[in-house]
Homo-oligomer: A and B are copies of this chain.
Amino acid sequence: MATIYDVARTAGVSPKTVSRVINGDGAVKASTKQKVQKAIADLGYVPSTAARLMRSNKSGLVGLITGAISLSPDRSEASGLPDLFIVQGIQKAMEHSGKTLLIADTGGHSDRVPKLIRTFEEHRVEGIIYVADYHRRVELPTVSDATKLVLANCYDDAGTPCILPHDFQGQYALVRSLIAKGHSRIGYITLTPGHEATTLRTAGYRSALDEAGIAFDPALLMPAGVDASDGAAEEQLLWDAIDRLLSLDRPPTVICFGNDRMAMRAYGILRSRGLSLPDDISVAGYDNYKLITQTLYPTLTSAELPYAAIGIRATELLLSMIEGNAPPTKDPILVSGPVVHGNSVKDLPTPITHLSSIGRTTK
């Protein structure tokens, strides 16, 4: 590959002058500039970032660590890779920064992270974004002070700057919209208990009920997520949870699910019980994973998990930190998403519910 010296010799000037032409700094006579540019074109010269980095100590690289790309096929295909949208957001936000994004993948093995960080440091990245596959706590090895670090979709105990989805607000807004449509018996089949998302969303669910003066009924709330990616067990749990809800004296008029995939399965289960959607029962999901929400029939109402926005916010924060600014806050930055309405939720005749509830209240 041609070097700056080859170009200089071909153009009959010094390497420094070629450098000036490439970088557009210093004064170069128009005729000289043309000679140099011709030589560059003729030789197919491409400057080496490595050599440039050695002098400037500015790599122009930003590292991204994720498991989104090469999660083990089973898990990734089951979950539908929603966290990949975070990576998309990062790409988008990085596009005009002039920096190059170096993406590394854990391949599902978090013990590979230190090695990836090491590789990034060898390449002298200016910052690293770590993306988790779901909202959770992580522990990362310490990185050199010169390397800025931002967490997306996760947080740690060290107070590393992080961007998180506003799970409380999401479920709260979703349930609020269901109440506005006249529902008051609202079932909620959650993801695995103990997960951040489950805890926060359950709080949002209860908060929306409270606000509307609807008493919380524990029988309407149950988990159906499992830790292992055991499809069969998950299916059984889901079937059982739906069965228990439908067997209640006062069954729910709408069921919320922990994610869109559970809701998608529920479509089949509910129909196999002879129920029609949304006339006999309404359904809502979570994530707004469009492949599901928009392709299902009827389209699915869901709370959007703002993955792309998380990625964008994380990138903006990192770039700002690279420029020398301190993180604006020590608290996690929460990103909210809208409720996306499909046809899976029926409008109930509110007046009746309303009147009867008034009747009861006033009796």
Contact = CB atoms under 8 A, between A and B. Distances in A.
Interface of A: 1, 44, 46-51, 53-54, 59, 69-71, 73-74, 76-81, 84-85, 87-88, 91-92, 95, 100-105, 107, 118-119, 121-124, 144, 146, 231, 261, 264-265, 267-269, 271-272, 289-291, 294-298, 308
Count of chain copies: 2
Contact of A49 (B100, B122, B291): B122
B88 A76 contact: yes
8 contacts: A46-B118, A46-B122, A48-B122, A48-B124, A50-B124, A77-B289, A100-B119, A261-B295
Nearest to A105: B91
A70 B71 CA distance: 18
A279 to B, nearest CB: 12
A265 B295 CA distance: 6
Contacts of A107: 91-92, 95
A175 to B, nearest CB: 24
A51 B102 CA distance: 18
A363 to B, nearest CB: 43
A69 B91 contact: yes
B50 A69 contact: no
A57 to B, nearest CB: 8
Given A77-B290, A100-B119, A144 B297 contact: no
A69 B85 CA distance: 8
A144 B85 contact: no
Contact of A69 (B71, B84, B122, B124): B84
Given A265-B297, A268-B298, 4 more contacts: A49-B123, A69-B69, A69-B87, A81-B84
Of residues A71, A79, A103, A269, which shows the largest number of chain B Cβ atoms within 10 Å of its Cβ? A103
A54 B25 CA distance: 24
A102 B105 contact: no
Given A81-B81, A124-B50, A73 B44 contact: no
Contacts of A71: 88
A295 B88 contact: no
A23 to B, nearest CB: 13
A176 to B, nearest CB: 25
Contacts of A123: 49-50, 100
A148 to B, nearest CB: 14
Contacts of A77: 289-291, 294
A301 to B, nearest CB: 16
A70 B94 CA distance: 11
Contacts of A78: 290-291, 294-295
Contacts of A144: 1, 44, 46
A297 B277 CA distance: 15
A305 B252 CA distance: 41
A69 B297 CA distance: 27
A105 B261 CA distance: 28
Contact of A50 (B50, B85, B146, B289): B50
B119 A92 contact: no
Of residues A1, A77, A118, A124, which shows the largest number of chain B Cβ atoms within 10 Å of its Cβ? A77
A91 B107 CA distance: 8
B46 A70 contact: no
